[in-house]
Amino acid sequence: MEKINLKTNKRVELIDITAKIQSALAKAKINHGVCFIFCPHTTAGLTINENADPSVKSDIINTLNKLIPPDAGYAHSEGNADSHVKSSLFGPALTIFIENGSLSLGTWQAVYFCESDGPRPREVWIKIIKE
């Protein structure tokens, strides 16, 4: 298992971690298989989305904040209930095929770490299974 360490900078942000995952693949020297990506945090998640236009990230963040505002009178008393809800929408894990040593992503796709309760240090775990 490989761990990617991140330092988030904002309360809610999407960080493209595709290159870090690809680096772990190159290090493992696996040409074909499956890459499991896991986020071990309850206020963060993972998603795959467009990486060509940066406004996509800001649109996602703005929509999340409108749909799930931080001050909506939640029962959870730690002040981060909205972060738990946001991370549940994304989910904690992704599975991506590996072909010819690369992640099998679409032309405009990237893997994003979705911070909902930052800034803070975070980890993403990667498990690569050879075909």
**Spans of all domains in the chain:** 31-119
Please provide the CATH number assigned to the domain covering 31-119: 2.60.120.460
Is pLDDT at 98 greater than 90 in this prediction? Answer: yes
Average pLDDT, the chain: 96
Q: What are phi and psi of 95, to 5 degrees?
A: -130, 125
Integer Cα distance of 40 and 51 in angstroms: 24
Is pLDDT at 131 greater than 90 in this prediction? Answer: no
E strand segments, the chain? 2-7, 13-16, 33-38, 44-50, 93-99, 102-103, 109-115, 121-130
**pLDDT recorded at residue 81:** 97
**pLDDT recorded at residue 102:** 96
Following CA atoms 76, 79, 82, 86 in sequence, which dihedral angle do they give, to the nearest 10 degrees? Answer: -100
